[in-house]
Structure formats: C-alpha cells, structure tokens
Structure 1
C-alpha cells in the first residue's frame, strides 16, 4: 500500500510540475502578445481619425502582388487625407494569414515611418511570392522574331525585378536563354556576367545601335534590317526614289545613237530638192561627200 501511495504521489508531482511549466509558457506568450509594439513611440501614440476607423479596406493574405495592394492602400489613404503615422497603424489592419504572421514577428519599435514599413513589407512578400512563379515564367520569355533587344529587355525586366537581388545567376541564365542569335548573344557567350546590372550595361551599346539603324531605315523607307518590321511600308516618295534608275542605268539610257549614213546625191538632184536653179556642176552644186578636189574647187568659186 505504501509503495502504491508513493507511485501515485510521484505521478501527481509530475503532473503538477508539467501544468506549472505549461502555465509559464502561456504566461510568456500572453505577455509577448500584450506588449507587442513594432512601431516607434511617436507612431504608437498617433490617434486614428474617426472617419477612417469605419473605412472598408481590402485585405491582404500574402499570396497576391504586394505592390498592387500597397498602391491600392496608399490611394485610399490619400483620398482619406491621413498622415504617414496613421498609414502605419492602418496597413496591418488589412493583413490576414501569412501577412499577419509576418507582421507579428517584427522587432519592437523597428518601424519609425511609413516609407520604412512599406519597403520592408514589399521586400518580404515580393521575394517570397515570386521566386517560383518567376523562375517558371522566365522559361516563357523568349525574344520574338524581329523583336528589338530593347523590347525584349523591357519584357524581361518586368519579371526579373522580383529576383535580381535574391537569385541574380538565375536571371542572367534566363536572359541568355531567351535571347535570339545575334551580335549581343555572341558577346554574352564570351563573357561571364553575374548580374542583370552587368547584362544591361553590356546590352546598352547594342540597343543604341538598333535604334540608330531603325531611324535610318525609317528615313530611307527600308525595313530589311532586323527589328524594323514595326516601321510599316515605305512612303510613296521613298518608293519613287527607290525605283529611280541608278547612275549606270542613266548613262546607258542617254547614250547617243549611231549616226545615220549620209545620202549621196548629185548636183542636179540637190538643185531639184532645194529649188535652186542656175547652179552649175562646177560652182554651188558640190556635195560634202564629193572628192576633195571638187570641194576645193567649189571654195574658189566663192
């Protein structure tokens, strides 16, 4: 019996200690939640205007675009006419699920203004949301036929902005993979860029070259070079210039024809055709194709 009582006493003691430890853990959690204050004292003491307390705002759970939510929220705050301190206190009221979990992990007093708070919010959810989605989307971003480097770069940047800081090597590899063959592609193969900043710097001269070529194609009415298909057909004026014969063709077309052979006639026929009478065979009737002696004799008659 004594042994049974001792065993029972031991179990009671263990249960009592376990309950005490659990109560201590709950007390610590409760204290942490009650004392949670991630804003500076100045923001914490800012009062929320009455007309804003009833304002209906869309929620954010962390699964959608944080930039889109921030733009929406800030627009509503501008319309409501509130200051940055109130914005800091109202933005967390839109958080749900993972967004709220993230907010509760912020260090006490770590946010002193709305710019700092919103930047931290964007940085966290832009990266966490977009890593896998962007890597998958990268595989579909390929430079189209006749698409300029500038256009391709613009489309690519819309996705790479979420990953450039976290996984720069993935961005570089994806850009090279989607680039069509050409001078820039060959240049990138000869170098080992490690960031999109280096890629953009190397591509800048090629973009300027394309732009210059495109302007000259537009001026000359040609669209034969790559990346100039959007310029449209050449104007009628330029088409007329293109259809004009070249210098060699012009020289051929203006070359004089061979001279016609002189018609040999005698003096009688010449007098009959010109209507001149009394001109004898020795004076006034000699033709240019007569013998030289006759021509000299005609000259002495004059």
Structure 2
C-alpha cells in the first residue's frame, strides 16, 4: 500500500517512501512513472494529469517536476542553533522537556551527539536533580 501524497506533507519523504516500496522495480523507468500516480491524492493528481504528454521520459524527471511544483511542502530540517537555545520552561515536567528536546534533536541533520548531551544538561534548571547527576557523572554519548 502506498501512502497517498496530499500536497501538504514533505514531498521528499513521500518520494523516498515510494522508492523504498518500489525498490525491486527501480530500474524500470516506465513502471516507476506509471505507478507513481497511484500514490497521489486528488489535488496532486490534477497537477499530474496536467503534465504535457511526452514531457517526462524518466522517473527522475517526474520527481524533479514534482519537487518543483510542490517545493513549498518541503520540510526544512532544524538547525543546531534551535537545539542550543532550548531550555526547560518554568512548570514544565522533565518528561515534556525531554520529549521536546529529543524530538528536535532527531530532526537535525548531522552528528551532534556531544553537543546534544551538553545542551540538554544546560537546558535543565541549575537546581534540577538530573542536571546535578549529569554534572557529577559526565555523559559521553546520547545513549
């Protein structure tokens, strides 16, 4: 089953998911182009149906046209500065802060484990027991 692209979610994730499902057929350009519309919702299907006949020869061209048309739906990954500025809010539970922090950490491109551990600790209130524990026993990695 394909996830149906509705024009509102990240298009590159959609194409990646489609490619993963179709991996055994990835060398068959014709099949890839013919099956791709099966993963499109109504709004996006109108765009697809409006493509000029013969304007797409390869699946890569189709995904490039798809990307150009729905570029505003691309997800922009968080940058490291977003993580560096995160702190535990007054009245926020450790669980809520931790969930928010690690969710953003997972959205950042790159390997910043060392920075993540330090900024997570610094984001905790100075008197928080977990911060004291992490300061007393320095953590070497995210795990």
State the TM-score, normalizing by the size of structure 1. 0.26
Question: How many Å separate the matches in 2 of 1:126 and 1:96?
Answer: 16
Q: Whose relative contact order is higher, 1 or 2, with alpha carbons under 8 Å and at least 6 apart?
A: 2
Deviation at 1:97, TM superposition (A): 1.6
> Are positions 1:86 and 2:27 aligned together?
no
- Note the 1:134-213 alignment, pairs <5 A: 141=82, 143-144=84-85
Number of paired residues? 99
1:123 matched residue in structure 2: 68
Runs of 5+ unmatched residues, structure 2:
88-104, 122-133, 138-143
Distance 1:93 1:229, change over 3 A: closer
Matched with 2:2 is 57
Deviation (angstroms), 1:229: 3.9
TM-aligned CA deviation for residue 98 of structure 1: 1.3
**What whole-Å deviation, never above 9, does each CA across 1:138-186 have from its counterpart, x for those lacking one?**
9xx474179xxxxxxxx7x969xxxxxxxxxxxxxxxxxxxxxxxxxxx
Q: Partner residue of 2:42? A: 97
Structure 1 residues 158 and 114, CA gap change in structure 2 (3 angstroms):
farther
Larger radius of gyration: 1
Cα gap change, 1:144 to 1:107, in 2 (>3 Å): same
Tell me, in whole angstroms, the C-alpha distance in 2 between the residues paired with 1:104 and 1:89: 12
- Distance in 2, matches of 1:123 and 1:143, equals 32
Cα pair 2:19 2:26 within 8 Å, conserved: no
Normalising by the residue count of structure 2, what TM-score does the alignment of the two structures yield? 0.51
- Calculate the aligned-residue CA RMSD, in Å: 4.1
Distance 1:107 1:120 in 2: 12
Shift of 1:233: 5.5
